[in-house]
Amino acid sequence: MAKSKRQQQPRRAGQRQPEGVSRAAAPADKTTSATASDKGSVTSATAGKKAAPANPDVSPTRLSAIRERAQVGQRRPQQRSRYSQQPWWRRNLGLLITMSVIVVLIGAFVSAALYQNRQAAIGIGSPVPASVMKDLTTVPASVFEKVGAGSVATSFTQNLQATSANTPLLTSNGKPEIIYVGAEYCPYCAAERWGTVVALSRFGSFSGLTLMRSSSSDVYQNTPTLSFRNATYTSKYIVFNATETEDRNQAPLATPPADALNVFNTYNSGGSIPFMSYGNQYVTIGGPFFPTMLANLNWQQVASQLNNPNSDVAKAVIGSANYETAMICKLTNNEPSSVCDTPVIQQIEAKLPVAK
């Protein structure tokens, strides 16, 4: 049987049959091969593009950071928009809290001050309790002697002056007249009254003394003291003329009588208080001591310390009383002797200023 021409053509040298392909399977035609080849090329190129970064100089990590910043920047306008839509009180919550705390603190301070003033005012205007009067009028002689000039020697010397020589002794009903001019609001007057009551109680007796505190808005506020407003004094040695010109709130109370006002204006051109005249022979202007040791004490606590010569209260109050006692003894020719002839009074008398 005759073979076909195609079958009769010999193979070219070096041409091999692909392994695993049967002889009956004919190779793909040129068109199919070209298409497959083209697809392979496109696939390889695309894969290559995806594998490599867009910028070969930027690492993947740095690229992620750039993208993150870009996303944050895109979110910020949205965040600002949400903030602007919040209620005004939420936007200013920190400021509102701060203001609320300040208001609460101010309210607490005001309430505390009002409470303190109310507590300090308890008892004001009441008669001096018997226990307080007893401590003021029964100070042992040993305490007067031990305290001596106490802590007021310098201040009393500075405030004390003798009137001119040959100045007539000021008297009332034939007795040397002691003049006091002060005011209930005055803290220095508050300090002076303690020593004055102690000293004068050695020559006579008081009635009608009332409890008082100095102003709550002045220096040394609420200093505990006594008031001479409604007081009377009885003595066979001296006359005591006291005027409280204003009350604790600085409202007018009284004007000194003519003779006291004349002395006040003569020796006290500045009108300072407290002012005291001892028979017009000695005058003192200003308090005998700063009332710091009286702070935060009640009347009984002050009076009780007068029996302790080592206490700061006794050194100030009893020291002041000794000076006043010495000046009065000079006016009464050292009567009564039980008071005036004691060593401490004689020593202070010798140090009193001499009229010129």
Q: How high is the mean pLDDT in each 10-residue block of the chain (356 residues)?
A: 42 43 41 41 43 54 67 55 65 76 74 53 90 97 97 90 95 97 98 98 98 95 97 98 97 96 95 97 96 95 97 97 98 98 97 90
242 vs 248: CA distance, rounded Å: 16
Please check whether residue 213 lies inside any domain of the structure.
yes
Q: Which long-range contacts link 22-28 to residues 24+ away (Cβ below 8 Å)?
A: none
325 vs 340: CA distance, rounded Å: 8
DSSP-assigned states of every residue in 126-161: SBPPHHHHHHHH---HHHHHHHTTTT-HHHHHHHEE
Cα–Cα nearest to 183, from 224, 215, 217: 215
Q: Which long-range contacts link 107-115 to residues 24+ away (Cβ below 8 Å)?
A: none
HSE (side-chain half, CA atoms, 13 Å) at 68: 6
Please check whether residue 6 lies inside any domain of the structure.
no
- Give how many domains the chain has, as a whole number: 1
Backbone phi, psi, residue 132, to 5°: -70, -45
Residue type, 77: P
Report pTM: 0.69
5 vs 288: CA distance, rounded Å: 153
207 vs 127: CA distance, rounded Å: 9
Number of Cβ atoms within 10 Å of the Cβ of 142: 10
Please check whether residue 239 lies inside any domain of the structure.
yes
Please check whether residue 17 lies inside any domain of the structure.
no
Domain limits at 319? Answer: 130-351
DSSP, collapsed to helix, strand or coil, labels residue 184 as: coil
For the CA atoms of 178, 181, 184, 185, the dihedral, rounded to the nearest 10 degrees, stands at -140
The contacts of residue 153 (CB under 8 Å, 6+ apart) are 319
Residue type, 128: V
**Res 92: pLDDT:** 75
Q: Which long-range contacts link 39-43 to residues 24+ away (Cβ below 8 Å)?
A: none
Under 8 Å between Cβ of 162 and 353:
yes
Intra-chain end-to-end CA distance of the chain, in Å: 180
Mapped to the 3 state alphabet, what secondary structure does 276-321 carry? Answer: EEECCCEEEECCCCCHHHHCCCCHHHHHHHHHCCCCHHHHHHHHHH
DSSP, collapsed to helix, strand or coil, labels residue 177 as: strand
Please check whether residue 56 lies inside any domain of the structure.
no
Angle at 30 between CA 28 and CA 32, to 5 degrees: 60
Please check whether residue 110 lies inside any domain of the structure.
no
**Res 328: pLDDT:** 98
Residue type, 32: T
For helices 312-331 and 343-351, angle between their N-to-C axes, nearest 10 degrees: 70
Please check whether residue 157 lies inside any domain of the structure.
yes
Please check whether residue 280 lies inside any domain of the structure.
yes
273 vs 285: CA distance, rounded Å: 7
